[in-house]
Amino acid sequence: MKYSDLVEVYERLGRTSKRLEKTGHLSDFLKNVHADDVEEVVLLLQGRIFPAWDEREIGIASQLMVKAISIASGADAHAVTKEWKRTGDLGTVAENLIKGKKQHTLASSELTVKKVFSNIRKLAEVSGEGSVDRKLQLIAELLTSSSGIEARYVARTILGDLRVGVGEGALRDAIVWANFMRVTDEMSKEKREDYNSFIDAVQEAYDLTNDFAVVAKIAKEKGVQGLKSVQIKQGKPIKVMLALKADSATEAFETVGRPAQVEFKYDGFRMEINKDEKGQVVIFTRRLENVTGQFPDVVEYAKEHVKAKSFILDAEAVGYDKKTMKYLPFQNISQRIKRKYDIEKTAEQLPVEVNVFDVLAYNGKNLINEPFRKRREIVERIVDNVRRKIRPSQAIVTDKEEKIEDFFRESREKGNEGLMIKNLEAPYKPGARVGHMLKFKGVAENLDLAIIGAEWGEGKRSKWLSSYDLACSSHGKLMEIGKASTGLKEKPEEGLSFEEITKLLKPLITEEHGKHVKVKPKIVIEVGYEEIQKSPSYSSGYALRFPRVIRNRSSEKGVSDINTLKDVERLYEQQRKQKA
């Protein structure tokens, strides 16, 4: 396939912000993509070369791209930098300079999708002596063979900044429209049921593979039956099942039934621990990041204390104080997730206990459709109970509200967040918030929100971004809900600091207006507040009274995981009833 065909779609996608229009453009295009090209095409449509869970990175810095554009266009690096400052986008710089160069080299040829994909993937694989020159050669080769507009998207893809707005929902629906039918208001009931069945099959296949490229190929070649036959593959992450919220023990029983399993809700971070038949252990976070290298201690626990040839465990890693042996808040151990150096030393200083609460595969068998009661029995059979290393999560089975209340108090006394309450007969639903699993905190609920803007401070805080614009989500859009400037520390050793958040936000700045900046929404923070108020000042229609930053959750949650406007509305109504 010609790369120019893909670029035409990029252009159409970039000209609309409407999801249905984007879905239509994607589906019309995918319908005509050959099965041999569809995996590369779908990854490139997302601005990716590897699926989201793959830890490999292209790893090209902006300055290296400046050099590559200089080589390909014949312009000196100073001219490239000058044009970059003027436009703010190296993709546009590549387009303008490649389009404006006096002549194409004799070696230039028409680009194909496979050539673009191959060269960019090689960028992640080149290492050792001479690797910088080799990377420059790979990029310059693509740019030299590009038309101006192709150069724009080659550069943006390499830099991870495609800017065409292809979300998961639009891509999922486009795969259905391209391989089955487009949804219409005039659909018969039977057709609508068939359509929904195909949508469900695509979503379930994606939840098991976390790779729309693989799903699109299966849909094109094997249809709905092929999608329904997708199985868990050990070594590749599965989207974890998510919990709804319960405000009382009675409400919890009404949702999950009686009796129910009640577990401690730990203040740690989700771990999906894979072990294959060869004995290799791989660990993923809730966000599907591979953190195996950062947790050699957990790898050893899984090998020594889980009695199975292969498995996929769903668990929570909780930090603890080595002196008191008491659990610590998540923030104390969050730095381990991103740690690249001194890993053994950090593991010794910041140890974790792994609490296993579910098993998704065991000795080659897929268990997600088995009832939770059976899965839990397997957990307790195969996971040794080794305190402060690895153990089955602490749990009881009960049908009485007072037992839940007692267990809740015990959990909080041990430093946990609250409880998880689970339906004993339910299957595991990857990626879904269903009524099979509830979280019960028993206190006013904090919100996970995205930072979409910030403001430089004054006085001694003038070097920091110290006030943050916060947003919840609504149908894929970010809706502002207030600003927060309290809760952070001025000294990094005291906890989450203004300096730390500023370092995270500065590379994400997209616009500056005086002291105020807009940023790409990538940083997720947990926010506490006194109450939620209605407010016309923000696009959400609500504002947080006395908001305060609790912790940075970006290592475990993405923007797609933040609280929704529906969550805010629910909490507002709950708060209003309590006041009545």
Q: Residue 106 burial (CB < 10 Å; 0-12/13-18/19+)? A: exposed
Q: 311-319 and 281-285: which strand pairing?
A: unpaired
- In whole angstroms, how large is the CA radius of gyration of the chain? 25
Beta-carbon contacts of 539 under 8 Å, excluding residues fewer than 6 positions away, are 479, 480
Closest CA to 139 of 81, 131, 104: 131
Amino acid at site 239 = K
3-state SS record for 483-518 = EECCCCECCHHHCCEHHHHHHHHHHHEEEEECCEEE
DSSP state of 284: E
CB contact at 8 A, 435 and 423: yes
Beta-carbon contacts of 469 under 8 Å, excluding residues fewer than 6 positions away, are 451, 452, 453, 454, 480, 482, 483
* Annotated catalytic residue 265: yes
Place of tokens 């475990």: 556
Closest CA to 431 of 288, 317, 259, 574: 288
The one catalytic residue in 22, 265, 422, 429 is 265
Dihedral over alpha carbons 468, 472, 474, 480 (to 10 degrees): -40
- CA atoms of 103 and 443, how far apart (whole Å): 68
Q: Give the helix ranges, DSSP H, for 33-162.
A: 35-45, 62-73, 77-87, 90-100, 113-125, 131-144, 148-159
Beta-carbon contacts of 571 under 8 Å, excluding residues fewer than 6 positions away, are 445, 447, 532
Strand spans (E) along 174-287: 242-245, 260-265, 269-275, 281-285
Instruction: Name 390's bridge partners.
Output: 354, 386
Give the CA distances from residue 252 to residues 314, 439, 440, in Å, rounded to whole numbers and listed in that order: 22, 9, 8
Query: Cβ atoms within 10 A of the Cβ of 96, count?
Result: 20
Instruction: Name 533's bridge partners.
Output: 543
Q: Which two tokens stand for residue 423?
A: 């339906």
- CA atoms of 251 and 570, how far apart (whole Å): 14
Secondary element (H or E) of residue 428: none
Residues marked as catalytic: 265
